[in-house]
Chain A
Amino acid sequence: MAIQTAPITLSVQNLSRSYGNYTVVNNVNLKLMQGEVLGLLGPNGAGKTTTMRMLTGNLAPSAGSISICGVDLFEEPNQAKAHLGYLPEIPPLYQEMTVDEFLRFVAKLHQVGNQDIQDALDRAKRRSGLIDRGVQLINTLSKGYQQRVGIAQAIIHCPDIIILDEPTVGLDPNQMREIRELIRELGSTSSVILSTHILSEVESVCDRVNIMHQGQLVLNETLTALKEKNTNLETVFAQLTVNRQ
């Protein structure tokens, strides 16, 4: 695997976030290589979503630094965010717009040039299986299709880093498989961070897995290494995330 030599796209150092006295994310270090799919696992309330919100500039960390493609997120937020595509837990959709209108707006927000918008729109729709839904109003789409629009808005500007917060929630098994294939495909060109509760999903799409528990990173291992050690992801997960009071 050529992962070792690939350039680093995202580097997070000593990231912490607390609400009052309650620490949600505690001293997290992350590194992401180009063309890598990273699975972020953890029980409910482990701090996955908080971490992702900090990575995308939606939340300021209490301490630590984030560098995206070599640009510091806090010093030059606009340049750093240009490399990002983000799908939050609840897809950010304007229900009154049609799929095309919405995706066009997102493309413009991400400064896709006017002559490239149509191409970007077609590509994003094709990749997320929305080709025949362009003129439909978003609020008439089913949950699964809304999720796809959410994914389409995260990839329309071909970002270097794609951050997906539980992308397969609410999808039927077929759609889930399609989205996983899509994530694999995206992972060949960009870096992807994916948070999920589904262990089999991590096994089928990710190159590397990070497990979070009580705000701390308790495991950082490539899936190949796990396989070599002949350990099961489920046992590892259970061992690392039992409540250590």
Chain B
Amino acid sequence: MIFTIAYKELRMLFLSPLAWILLAFSQIVLTWVFLGRLDAFLEIQPQLMQIANPPGVTEIIVSPVFAIAAIVLLMVTPLLTMRLVAEERRNNTLALLISAPISITSIVLGKFFSLLVFFCIVIGLILALCISLLAGGALDFGLLLSGAVGLFLLVACYAALGLYVSSLTAQPVIAAIGALGVLLGFWIMDLMASDLDGWMLYFSLFKHFEQFNYGLIDTFSIGYFILFMSFFLAITIRRMDGERVQA
């Protein structure tokens, strides 16, 4: 059942030009950053040769690309999540799903997984970009993989949050703006957290992602991401369940 919903969401996504435009947009931005970093690397390569144990291409090119990808996807996710529930509600199609013999949990998870599949495509394209570096040198696959896993978990958190905001309203545009606002809030929290090492550090999504991007797979960070996702998925389910009772 979850699969049926996810398949339908993906189909609807790729039937509209939005998914293709977002894929193209993020790929153009990231390729630009990638080429910029490549240029910088070629420029400093002679100096790097002189230090012992120099950073490799993965550290200098791939990690910054992932860091930018985290920001680009922060902008892109609200556009993908906005229609998930809000549009169904506006077009009165939510009644179709609710009167079908499936639970609200399956509906929410199906929608969530459809986004994860989309993000797998985005991350796959970024990985393909990075792997093209093999033509000119060796890559640190461990670091590459850890960055990709971190980015995946991070965008899964964005998706869960966006899905929740979408379940609050019947207007896709409001859902998009709301989700973007909250995500930007998290970003600002991250900027503040860089200055002081207090509790905020633990709550910043990006700090946890940075760990992955340094090649450090920390169970604490994985735990945080999974908690974050489960929390927002749970309150989405609660919200959609409660809607029927609401007086």
Contact surface of A with B, Cβ cutoff 8 Å: 18-20, 53, 56-60, 62, 77-82, 84, 86, 88, 90-97, 101, 105-106, 108-111, 153
Q: What's the nearest-Cβ distance from chain B to residue A87, in Å? A: 9
B60: interface (CB < 8 Å): no
Q: Which residue of B lies closest to A109 (CB)?
A: B100
A59 and B244 contacting across the interface, CB-CB below 8 Å: yes
Q: Which of B89-97, B122-130, B138-146, B216-224 lies at the binding interface? A: B89-97
B42: interface (CB < 8 Å): no
Q: What's the nearest-Cβ distance from chain B to residue A157, in Å? A: 9
Q: By CB atoms of chain A within 10 A, which of B8, B94, B97, B100 has the most? A: B100
A19 and B93 contacting across the interface, CB-CB below 8 Å: no
Interface residues of B in 2-31 (CB under 8 A from A): 4, 8, 11-12, 15-16
In the complex, what residues of A have CB within 8 A of residue B12's CB? 94, 96-97
Instruction: Return the contact of B98 from the options A18, A58, A80, A110 (Cβ within 8 A).
Output: A58
B134: interface (CB < 8 Å): no
Instruction: Return the contact of B96 from the options A60, A79, A92 (Cβ within 8 A).
Output: A92
Q: What's the nearest-Cβ distance from chain B to residue A188, in Å? A: 23
Question: Contact string, B184-223, partner A, CB cutoff 8 A, digits 1/0?
Answer: 0000000000000000000000000000000000000000
Instruction: Return the contact of B92 from the options A62, A80, A82, A90 (Cβ within 8 A).
Output: A90
Given contacts A58-B244, A109-B4, contact A94 B93 (CB under 8 A): yes
Count of A-B contacts judged by CB separation below 8 Å = 72
B95 and A110 contacting across the interface, CB-CB below 8 Å: no
A20 and B96 contacting across the interface, CB-CB below 8 Å: no
Write 25 A-B pairs (CB below 8 A) sorted by A numbering. A19-B247, A56-B98, A56-B99, A57-B98, A57-B244, A58-B95, A58-B99, A59-B244, A60-B245, A77-B103, A80-B101, A82-B101, A90-B92, A92-B95, A92-B96, A93-B93, A94-B93, A96-B12, A97-B15, A101-B11, A106-B96, A109-B1, A110-B101, A111-B1, A153-B96
In the complex, what residues of B have CB within 8 A of residue A108's CB? 4
In the complex, what residues of A have CB within 8 A of residue B35's CB? none
Interface size of B as a range: 20 to 34
- Expressed in whole angstroms, the Cα–Cα distance for A46 and B57 within the complex equals 71
In the complex, what residues of B have CB within 8 A of residue A94's CB? 12, 91, 93
B235: interface (CB < 8 Å): no
Instruction: Return the contact of A109 from the options B16, B102, B245 (Cβ within 8 A).
Output: B102
Q: What's the nearest-Cβ distance from chain B to residue A117, in Å? A: 12
- Expressed in whole angstroms, the Cα–Cα distance for A19 and B245 within the complex equals 10
B247 and A92 contacting across the interface, CB-CB below 8 Å: no
In the complex, what residues of B have CB within 8 A of residue A82's CB? 101
Given contacts A20-B247, A57-B99, A84-B99, contact A105 B93 (CB under 8 A): no
B245 and A86 contacting across the interface, CB-CB below 8 Å: no
Interface residues of B in 63-100 (CB under 8 A from A): 91-100
Instruction: Return the contact of A78 from the options B11, B94, B102 (Cβ within 8 A).
Output: B102
- Expressed in whole angstroms, the Cα–Cα distance for A97 and B11 within the complex equals 9
- Expressed in whole angstroms, the Cα–Cα distance for A93 and B90 within the complex equals 11
A96 and B15 contacting across the interface, CB-CB below 8 Å: yes
Closest 4 CB pairs of A and B: A92-B96, A82-B101, A56-B99, A81-B101
Q: By CB atoms of chain B within 10 A, which of A62, A97, A109 has the most? A: A109
- Expressed in whole angstroms, the Cα–Cα distance for A78 and B102 within the complex equals 6
Instruction: Return the contact of B247 from the options A18, A90, A96, A111 (Cβ within 8 A).
Output: A18
B247 and A79 contacting across the interface, CB-CB below 8 Å: no
In the complex, what residues of B have CB within 8 A of residue A79's CB? 101
Q: What's the nearest-Cβ distance from chain B to residue A60, in Å? A: 4
- Expressed in whole angstroms, the Cα–Cα distance for A86 and B15 within the complex equals 26
B101 and A92 contacting across the interface, CB-CB below 8 Å: no
B101 and A96 contacting across the interface, CB-CB below 8 Å: no
Given contacts A78-B103, A81-B100, A81-B101, contact A105 B8 (CB under 8 A): yes
A109 and B244 contacting across the interface, CB-CB below 8 Å: no
- Expressed in whole angstroms, the Cα–Cα distance for A61 and B217 within the complex equals 49
Q: What's the nearest-Cβ distance from chain B to residue A82, in Å? A: 4
In the complex, what residues of B have CB within 8 A of residue A97's CB? 11-12, 15
- Expressed in whole angstroms, the Cα–Cα distance for A59 and B241 within the complex equals 10
- Expressed in whole angstroms, the Cα–Cα distance for A109 and B106 within the complex equals 11
- Expressed in whole angstroms, the Cα–Cα distance for A58 and B244 within the complex equals 6
